[in-house]
């Protein structure tokens, strides 16, 4: 079992926290090349279809970045603030903080703060999700399925599991992130489809 960080934007963090998002798609770093009726992948596997099954012993399974049972800890925009800067009257909200171990200072997640109307927090500087340390993560995703397919093979139910109401919203959000790298919706790149269950705990609590 591996534990691996993954970045999500605020919109997707909110969907994860609400239980509306149980799958994510990430483009293959090395896109395959069409060779006649088959696709040539870096690992040598080929398929005439627009999806590849993840089968034990198959090259596709070995190339997958995640395997069933692996844990993903969510990185999101955050800051280091003081508990008295936000609404601390509700004890349940404390589960969304991670004690820094230095007095009353806590990691505060922006998605939570904005939902409480405290997005400014005395004009603190929000830190990009890429810098979130493991101990500040509040959401852990346990991988339940992995497969490889073309982006535009996504069906309506999968769009909903991605946290969107329709293809238009999903396609727009995807292109905003990946079009600049040539992997936008119109290109229909090959993607890893990673399904998971959301655990509202820090990854080290889950593995303890």
pTM over the 0.95 mark = no
Dihedral class, residue 19 (left if φ above 0, else alpha if ψ from -120 to 50, else beta): left
Q: For position 106, what pLDDT does the model report?
A: 62
Q: For position 92, what pLDDT does the model report?
A: 39
Beta strand residue intervals within the chain, DSSP E? 3-7, 23-27, 33-35, 38-40, 46-47, 51-52, 71-75, 78-82, 98-99, 105-109, 140-150, 190-199
Q: For position 101, what pLDDT does the model report?
A: 44
Residue 170 phi, psi (nearest 5): -65, -45
- Over its length of 208 residues, how does the chain's per-residue pLDDT go in tens digits? 999 999 999 899 999 999 999 999 999 998 988 887 788 888 765 677 787 777 655 777 788 899 999 999 999 988 776 555 555 444 334 444 444 444 455 677 777 666 655 555 555 677 889 999 998 899 999 999 999 999 999 999 999 999 999 999 999 999 999 999 999 999 999 999 999 999 999 999 999 9
Pairing mode, strands 33-35 and 105-109: unpaired
How far apart CA 76 and CA 81 sit, in angstroms, is: 15
Domain limits, the chain: 3-73+139-207, 78-127
Contact 122, 188 (CB under 8 A): no
Residue with tokens 């946290």: 163
Q: For position 31, what pLDDT does the model report?
A: 92
**CATH code at 3-73+139-207:** 2.30.130.30
């Amino acid at each position: 079992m591996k534990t691996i960080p993954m970045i999500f934007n605020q919109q997707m963090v909110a969907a994860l926290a609400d239980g509306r998002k149980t799958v994510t798609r990430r483009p293959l770093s090395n896109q395959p090349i069409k060779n006649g009726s088959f696709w040539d992948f870096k690992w040598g596997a080929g398929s005439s279809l627009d999806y590849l099954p993840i089968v034990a012993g198959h090259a596709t399974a070995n190339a997958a970045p995640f395997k069933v049972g692996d844990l993903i800890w969510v990185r999101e925009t955050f800051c280091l603030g003081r508990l008295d800067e936000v609404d601390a009257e509700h004890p349940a909200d404390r589960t969304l903080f991670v004690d820094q171990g230095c007095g009353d200072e806590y990691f505060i997640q922006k998605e939570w703060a904005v939902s409480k109307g405290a997005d400014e927090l005395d004009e603190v500087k929000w830190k990009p999700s890429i810098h979130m340390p493991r101990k500040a993560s509040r959401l852990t995703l346990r991988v339940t399925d992995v497969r490889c397919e073309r982006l535009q093979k996504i069906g309506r139910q999968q769009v909903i599991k991605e946290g969107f109401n329709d293809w238009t919203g999903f396609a727009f959000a995807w292109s905003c992130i990946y079009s600049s790298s040539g992997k936008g919706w119109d290109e229909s790149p090959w993607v890893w489809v990673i399904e998971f269950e959301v655990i509202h705990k820090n990854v080290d609590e889950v593995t303890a």
